[in-house]
């Protein structure tokens, strides 16, 4: 909201300079945006107006806020009485009060086209509205001054009955400026017997526009369903000073004030005369009264204020506050403050005018509640730390992707500005591959990356999110076993029983492998006991087993079988990579450490010998191995 | 026997400086050394002699070993082997690093965990109810349209537009009093550019207890900002509107580029907004089944990405999450 300071000072007495005014308004919730400007001798300040304060989209609204701080009384602009008794010569109808809450009109005749005072036009221009002609300028001036949009129709152009109705499908309308629109039944229009005259609350039309020859007008001030205004404005891509105000919650009471003010200016500067008025107001809103317990200011605000101080602050904002008891105030909410509906709203009013800087700053002194153990937070952090310790660097990649390559059913978006990113990832692979490509450009010989993130998919008509670890290793002598080793240590470190169904390792190309690990299954996997530190080495006896088996025989199965053959088997490791031999066989070299699981009991050769024999016979019988003796 | 032993000792001492330590080691301690030969002769002696001579032999062995060890360590330093070049670079181990956003989350978590908060999470695919309804954002509320929601199935399922949806979940599901912080991904349907990405990170905080008021919010936020930006940081508390809170607060810090004079970075405001906060709206407490006459609380939320970008000098938000970020 652009605020010409000279305009503001018409309503509030203050010696404050523009920049000081900016600081004060910012503190109470209307942030000064950008530099203070000077437009042809007029100082202009830009304020960021809060969504729920349409009253501040007016000079009088800003003045009211400022007067509450500087504590001077607001000077209201002059109003003229509307000719309530005399109806308009034009018949007016409102089709639905669901979409138009109040439609208030005034017919003014015999308007002159004398130029308006220079300062008035200059203020309007400084605000950002170019001057058109005196009649239009006055209606715009009142809109900026009071915040209620008005529209003037050329009375002579209106044919038959004026009706506020929904547009018909594909109904045509030429807006001011010549833009041709095709309307929909969701648009509200003001129309006469011939067709649409204005897109209600947004923009007038060419047909009934006011020009330099116009002497008689129908002036309209209305309040519509704000969501409808917002949607129509978005649908046709038209945002006007009127639509930015009417898409917010304006009180219908404002229409009569705006017409009274406009009439005052039209008679003052264009010697116009009101000949009739019509007011279609279906459900007149009652004045809202809130009772306000002053103890709330301390309870919610943490500030001790006397009841008199609170009453004074509220009255400065024109909220009519009356003491009801030692603790209780009754507050009448003026029509323009549509944002105030509950007691807490009043607490904010008191606190912001009292000044947020005057609220003390204290750390909460209540006993901290019991910690909520959220299972994944620590677990994921452990995985991240483990991966970095293994030399892998973390990436965070986009969950919205273009392609997915997994068996899972992806979740698609219904609306997305970027066509290339219209679904959620079902794997972390593509994001990490993209990272890998980028790291390659930096010339890294060994690229080791990971991401701890979610994948998303549909299953049984439900949307699922699953915490996942993705790892990529790109290195010329890197291998499948480098990633498998990561998996094995991860199981060990997290004390979970190894389970091959929880992860997958795929080859991306000659030098790159990708690992994906289901973190949620991992956290829920069977836990295994195990010490994290030892203070004495376990006594161990070692035996090597060298044997020849068929090339089809998976060595992993042999190792698993050996591990479970006796509790005395402590560790089973591969002595060297298996060597392929002629005749479809391979030689395998396995190294076993035997130890007593009870650390305090020593192990002897006599203990081990039967197990060693069992191992040999197992190798021979189950795996048809030829064991070298 | 004893004579032979002392003779060996004399010989060793004579040759000590002349022959290289490895050769001496073979000659005096090797399998074919005189000393080893003497050990075999021990068998011919009586028990008493065996013990005495054996101990003399071992004593000499120890002596020679110690001498040789010190000789070898000396020669290592004084005569470096020819291919040893200590100026060659070391073999750097490959070290992984965390993503800058994770680091910033950890940094902030550290502060709030110390203040008694739990780190909490919630789903990214949300219901309209948790993302808007329970947060005092009824349908047709303009803020809903301003947020440019990405929908999965309109109007019910969407990608959360803010981490506040997790507040609704925590208030509904967890016991009171409650102190949580929620770092996480959020989504908006935005045209992507250097400052906008369809996915970005927010950090949310919530404290609900008996007797919580704005002074507690202010105390917490000031302590936090000092933790993050240093003791001398200048803050500004503004009244600001957010539907989820009442009263609402905007927290700014003095623009570090112009020191509140006004510059391009702060859009001539002199201050930079870093977070939004306020007292939890009674409508929100009610919609989560909490008696707002007994409990009150505050909430705050901030974007994390700008913080990360400033700290790590990254000019384009997209680079944080599109794989173009190389951590050193
Ligand atoms: Zn600045």
Percent with pLDDT over 70 in chain A: 99
Reduced to 3 states (helix: H, G, I; strand: E, B; else coil), residue B290 is coil
Provide the pLDDT for residue B146.
62
Which long-range CB contacts under 8 A does A313-318 form with residues at least 24 apart? A313/A68, A313/A349, A313/A350, A313/A353, A313/A354, A314/A346, A314/A349, A314/A350, A316/A67, A316/A68, A316/A71, A316/A353, A317/A64, A317/A65, A317/A68, A317/A349, A317/A353, A318/A64, A318/A74
- In the reported structure, the alpha carbon of residue A34 is separated from the centroid of ligand 1 by a whole-number distance in angstroms of 11
Closest-CA distance of chain B to residue A564, Å: 36
- In the reported structure, the alpha carbon of residue A354 is separated from the centroid of ligand 1 by a whole-number distance in angstroms of 27
Tokens of A450: 């990971």
Angle, vertex CA A216, rays to CA A213 and CA A222, nearest 5: 120
Interface probe for B, chosen from A305, A339, A356 (most Cβ of B below 10 Å), is A356
Q: Is the pLDDT of residue A602 over 60?
A: yes
For the stretch B201-232, pLDDT in tens is 999 999 999 999 999 999 999 999 999 999 99
Which long-range CB contacts under 8 A does A68-71 form with residues at least 24 apart? A68/A28, A68/A313, A68/A316, A68/A317, A68/A353, A69/A24, A69/A28, A69/A353, A70/A12, A70/A13, A70/A14, A70/A16, A70/A24, A71/A316
Average pLDDT rounded to a whole number, residues A9-17 = 94
Q: Is the pLDDT of residue B327 over 90?
A: no
Global confidence as pTM: 0.82
Residue A344 pLDDT grade (very low, low, confident, very high; cuts 50, 70, 90): confident
Please list the alpha-helical segments (H only) found in A218-322.
Answer: 226-236, 241-246, 254-269, 295-301, 307-316
Determine the Cα–Cα distance for residues B129 and B137; give it in Å rounded to an integer: 9
Provide the pLDDT for residue A286.
86
Strand partners, A576: A589
Please check whether residue B164 is in contact with residue B205, taking contact to mean a CB–CB distance below 8 angstroms. Answer: no
Residue B1 pLDDT grade (very low, low, confident, very high; cuts 50, 70, 90): confident
B151/A414 touch (CB, cutoff 8 Å), yes or no: yes
- DSSP annotation of A553: S
Residue A207 pLDDT grade (very low, low, confident, very high; cuts 50, 70, 90): very high
Determine the Cα–Cα distance for residues A406 and A429; give it in Å rounded to an integer: 10
Percent with pLDDT over 90 in chain B: 48
Determine the Cα–Cα distance for residues A253 and A99; give it in Å rounded to an integer: 16
For the stretch A383-397, pLDDT in tens is 999 999 999 999 999
- DSSP annotation of B232: T
Provide the pLDDT for residue B39.
78
Determine the Cα–Cα distance for residues B223 and A277; give it in Å rounded to an integer: 60
Average pLDDT rounded to a whole number, residues A338-360 = 93
Please check whether residue B247 is in contact with residue B241, taking contact to mean a CB–CB distance below 8 angstroms. Answer: no
Domains of chain A: residue spans and CATH: 2-70 (3.30.56.10), 92-280 (3.50.40.10), 288-356 (3.30.56.10), 375-523 (3.30.930.10), 540-628 (3.30.70.380)
Picking from B189, B238, B296, the nearest residue to A356 by CB comes out as B238
Determine the Cα–Cα distance for residues A493 and A503; give it in Å rounded to an integer: 16
How many CB pairs below 8 Å do chains A and B form together? 237
Tokens of A123: 């203020």
Q: Which of B249, B251, B119, B243 is nearest to B178 (CA)?
A: B119
φ and ψ of A581, to 5 deg: -115, 170
The label of the residue with tokens 């003014």 reads: A108
Average pLDDT rounded to a whole number, residues A427-432 = 94
Q: Is the pLDDT of residue B308 over 60?
A: yes
Provide the pLDDT for residue B135.
87
Determine the Cα–Cα distance for residues A252 and B48; give it in Å rounded to an integer: 124
For the stretch A490-507, pLDDT in tens is 999 999 999 999 999 999
Cβ burial, residue A105 (10 Å; 0-12/13-18/19+)? buried
Torsion, Cα A607 A610 A614 A617, to 10 degrees, reads: 150
Q: Is the pLDDT of residue B79 over 70?
A: no
Q: Is the pLDDT of residue B42 over 90?
A: no
Residue B147 pLDDT grade (very low, low, confident, very high; cuts 50, 70, 90): low
Residue A110 pLDDT grade (very low, low, confident, very high; cuts 50, 70, 90): very high
Reduced to 3 states (helix: H, G, I; strand: E, B; else coil), residue A281 is strand
Q: In this structure, is the dihedral angle defined by the CA atoms of residues B250, B256, B259 and B265, taken in order, positive or negative?
A: negative
Cβ burial, residue A343 (10 Å; 0-12/13-18/19+)? middle
Tokens of A15: 């010696």
Provide the pLDDT for residue B76.
56
Q: Which of A126-130, A236-240, A399-403 has the lowest mean pLDDT?
A: A399-403
B118/A421 touch (CB, cutoff 8 Å), yes or no: no
Q: Which of B169, B199, B326 is nearest to A453 (CA)?
A: B199
Provide the pLDDT for residue A6.
95
- In the reported structure, the alpha carbon of residue B311 is separated from the centroid of ligand 1 by a whole-number distance in angstroms of 17
List strand residue ranges (DSSP E) for A383-497, in order: 393-394, 400-401, 423-424, 446-459, 462-475
Rama region for A302: left / alpha / beta (φ>0; ψ in -120 to 50; rest): left
Q: Is the pLDDT of residue B77 over 60?
A: no
Provide the pLDDT for residue B20.
79
Contacting residues of B for A393, CB less than 8 Å apart? 96-98, 327
Q: Which of A52-66, B9-23, B297-311 has the lowest mean pLDDT?
A: B9-23
Residue B74 pLDDT grade (very low, low, confident, very high; cuts 50, 70, 90): low
Average pLDDT rounded to a whole number, residues A551-560 = 92
Determine the Cα–Cα distance for residues B224 and A496; give it in Å rounded to an integer: 38
Name the more confident of A469 and B11: A469
Determine the Cα–Cα distance for residues A185 and A259; give it in Å rounded to an integer: 29
Determine the Cα–Cα distance for residues B133 and B122; give it in Å rounded to an integer: 16
Contacting residues of B for A368, CB less than 8 Å apart? 115-116, 179
Residues near A73 by beta carbon (within 8 Å), at least 6 away in sequence: A67
Contacting residues of B for A44, CB less than 8 Å apart? none
Provide the pLDDT for residue B325.
84
Determine the Cα–Cα distance for residues A252 and A224; give it in Å rounded to an integer: 9
Contacting residues of B for A366, CB less than 8 Å apart? 177, 209-212
- DSSP annotation of A566: -
Which residues 123-182 of chain B have a CB within 8 Å of chain A?
Answer: 123-125, 140, 142-143, 145-146, 150-154, 157, 159, 174-180
Provide the pLDDT for residue B166.
94
Closest-CA distance of chain B to residue A213, Å: 40
Please check whether residue A609 is in contact with residue A541, taking contact to mean a CB–CB distance below 8 angstroms. Answer: no
Q: Is the pLDDT of residue A113 over 70?
A: yes
Determine the Cα–Cα distance for residues A602 and A120; give it in Å rounded to an integer: 104
Average pLDDT rounded to a whole number, residues A589-607 = 85
Domains of chain B: residue spans and CATH: 2-78 (no CATH), 100-327 (3.30.930.10)
Please check whether residue A52 is in contact with residue A336, taking contact to mean a CB–CB distance below 8 angstroms. Answer: no
Q: Which of A597, A596, A616 is nearest to A606 (CA)?
A: A596
Provide the pLDDT for residue A420.
75
B219/A446 touch (CB, cutoff 8 Å), yes or no: no
Most confident range (mean pLDDT) of A465-469, B10-14, B89-93 is: A465-469
Percent with pLDDT over 90 in chain A: 81
Determine the Cα–Cα distance for residues B322 and A435; give it in Å rounded to an integer: 7
Please check whether residue A430 is in contact with residue A516, taking contact to mean a CB–CB distance below 8 angstroms. Answer: no
Among all residues of chain A, which has the CA nearest to that of B273?
A31
For the stretch A251-261, pLDDT in tens is 999 999 999 99
DSSP letters spanning A333-395: EPTT-TT--SHHHHHHHHHHHH-GGGS------SPPPPPP--HHHHHHHHHHHHHHHTT-EE-
Please check whether residue B284 is in contact with residue B136, taking contact to mean a CB–CB distance below 8 angstroms. Answer: yes
Contacting residues of B for A395, CB less than 8 Å apart? 99, 323, 325
- CB proximity B247 to A under 8 Å: yes
B115/A363 touch (CB, cutoff 8 Å), yes or no: yes
């Amino acid at each position: 909201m652009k605020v010409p300071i000279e305009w503001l000072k018409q309503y509030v007495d203050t010696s404050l300079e523009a920049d000081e005014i900016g600081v004060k308004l910012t503190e109470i919730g209307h942030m000064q945006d950008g530099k203070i400007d000077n437009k042809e001798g007029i100082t202009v300040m830009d304020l960021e107006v809060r969504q729920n304060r349409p009253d501040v989209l007016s000079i009088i609204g800003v003045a009211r806020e400022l007067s509450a701080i500087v504590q001077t009384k607001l000077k209201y602009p002059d109003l003229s009485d509307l000719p309530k008794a005399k109806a308009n010569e034009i018949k007016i109808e409102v089709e639905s009060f669901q979409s138009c809450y109040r439609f208030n009109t005034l017919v003014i005749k015999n308007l002159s086209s004398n130029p308006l005072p220079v300062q008035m036009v200059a203020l309007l221009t400084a605000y950002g509205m170019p001057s058109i002609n005196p009649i239009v300028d006055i209606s715009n001036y009142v809109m900026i001054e009071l915040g209620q949009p008005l529209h003037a129709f050329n009375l002579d152009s209106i044919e038959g009955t004026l009706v506020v109705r929904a547009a018909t499908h594909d109904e045509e309308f030429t807006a001011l400026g010549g833009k041709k629109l095709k309307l929909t039944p969701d648009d509200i229009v003001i129309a006469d017997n011939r067709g649409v005259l204005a897109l209600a609350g947004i923009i007038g039309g060419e047909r009934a526009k006011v020009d330099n020859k116009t002497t008689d007008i129908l002036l309209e001030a209305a309040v519509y369903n704000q969501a409808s205004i917002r949607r129509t404005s978005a649908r046709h891509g038209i945002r006007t000073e009127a639509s930015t105000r009417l898409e917010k919650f304006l009180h219908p009471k404002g229409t009569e004030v705006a017409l009274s003010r406009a009439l005052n200016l039209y008679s003052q500067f264009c010697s116009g005369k009101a000949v009739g008025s019509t007011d279609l107001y279906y459900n007149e809103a009652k004045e809202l009264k809130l009772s306000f317990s002053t103890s709330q200011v301390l309870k919610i605000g943490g500030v001790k204020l006397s009841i008199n101080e609170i009453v004074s602050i509220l009255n400065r904002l024109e909220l009519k506050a009356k003491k009801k008891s030692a603790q209780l105030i009754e507050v009448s909410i003026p029509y323009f403050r549509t944002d105030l509906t509950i007691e807490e709203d009043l607490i904010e009013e008191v606190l912001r005018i009292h000044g947020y800087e005057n609220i003390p700053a204290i750390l909460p002194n209540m006993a901290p509640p019991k910690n909520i153990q959220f299972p994944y937070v620590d677990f994921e952090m452990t995985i991240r730390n483990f991966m970095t310790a293994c030399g892998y660097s973390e990436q965070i990649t986009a969950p919205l992707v273009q392609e997915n390559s997994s068996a899972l059913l992806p979740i698609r978006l219904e609306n997305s500005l970027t066509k290339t990113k219209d679904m959620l990832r079902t794997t972390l692979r593509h994001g990490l591959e993209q990272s890998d490509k980028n790291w390659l450009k930096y010339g890294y010989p060994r690229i080791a990356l990971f991401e701890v993130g979610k994948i998303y998919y549909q299953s049984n008509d439900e949307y699922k999110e699953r915490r996942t670890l993705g790892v990529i290793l790109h290195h010329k002598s890197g291998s499948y076993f480098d990633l498998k080793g990561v998996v094995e240590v991860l199981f060990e470190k997290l004390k979970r029983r190894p389970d091959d169904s929880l992860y997958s390792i795929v080859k991306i190309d000659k030098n790159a492998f990708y690992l994906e690990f289901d973190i949620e299954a991992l956290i829920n996997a069977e836990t295994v006991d195990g010490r994290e530190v030892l203070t004495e080495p376990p006594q161990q006896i070692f035996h090597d087993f060298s044997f020849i088996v068929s090339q089809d025989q998976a060595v992993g199965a042999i190792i698993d079988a050996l591990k479970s053959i006796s509790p005395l088997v402590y560790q089973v490791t591969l002595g060297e990579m298996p060597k392929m031999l002629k005749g479809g066989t391979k030689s395998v070299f396995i190294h076993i450490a035997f130890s007593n699981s009870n650390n305090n009991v020593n192990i002897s050769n006599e203990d081990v010998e039967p197990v060693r024999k069992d191992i040999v016979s197992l190798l021979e019988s189950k795996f048809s191995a030829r064991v070298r003796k | 026997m004893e004579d032979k032993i002392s003779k060996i000792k004399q010989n060793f001492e004579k040759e000590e400086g002349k022959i290289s330590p490895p050769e001496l080691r073979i000659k005096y301690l090797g399998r074919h050394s005189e000393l080893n030969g003497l050990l075999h002769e021990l068998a011919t002696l009586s028990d008493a002699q065996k013990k005495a001579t054996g101990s003399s032999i071992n004593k000499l062995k120890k002596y020679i070993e110690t001498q040789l060890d010190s000789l070898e360590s000396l020669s290592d330093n004084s005569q470096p082997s020819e291919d040893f070049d200590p100026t060659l670079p070391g073999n750097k181990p490959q070290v992984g690093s965390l993503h800058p956003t994770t680091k910033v989350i950890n940094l902030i978590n550290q502060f709030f965990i110390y203040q008694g908060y739990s780190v909490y999470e919630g789903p990214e695919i949300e219901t309209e109810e948790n993302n808007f309804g329970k947060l005092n954002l009824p349908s047709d509320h303009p803020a809903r349209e301003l947020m440019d929601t990405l929908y999965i199935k309109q109007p019910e399922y969407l990608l959360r537009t803010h981490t506040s949806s997790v507040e609704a979940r925590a208030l509904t599901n967890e016991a009171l009093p409650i102190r949580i912080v929620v770092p996480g991904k959020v989504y908006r349907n935005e045209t992507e550019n250097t400052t906008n990405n369809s996915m970005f990170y927010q950090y949310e905080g919530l404290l609900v207890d008996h007797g919580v008021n704005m002074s507690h919010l202010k105390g917490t936020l000031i302590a936090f900002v000092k933790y993050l930006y240093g003791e001398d940081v200048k803050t500004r508390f503004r009244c600001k509107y957010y539907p989820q809170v009442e009263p609402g607060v905007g927290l700014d810090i003095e623009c570090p580029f112009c020191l509140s004079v006004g510059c391009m970075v702060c859009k001539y405001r002199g201050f930079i907004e870093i977070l939004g906060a306020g007292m939890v709206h009674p409508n929100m407490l009610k919609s989560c089944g909490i008696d707002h006459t007994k409990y009150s609380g505050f909430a705050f939320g901030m974007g994390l990405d700008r913080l990360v970008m400033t700290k790590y000098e990254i000019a384009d938000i997209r680079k944080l999450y599109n794989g173009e970020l190389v951590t050193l």
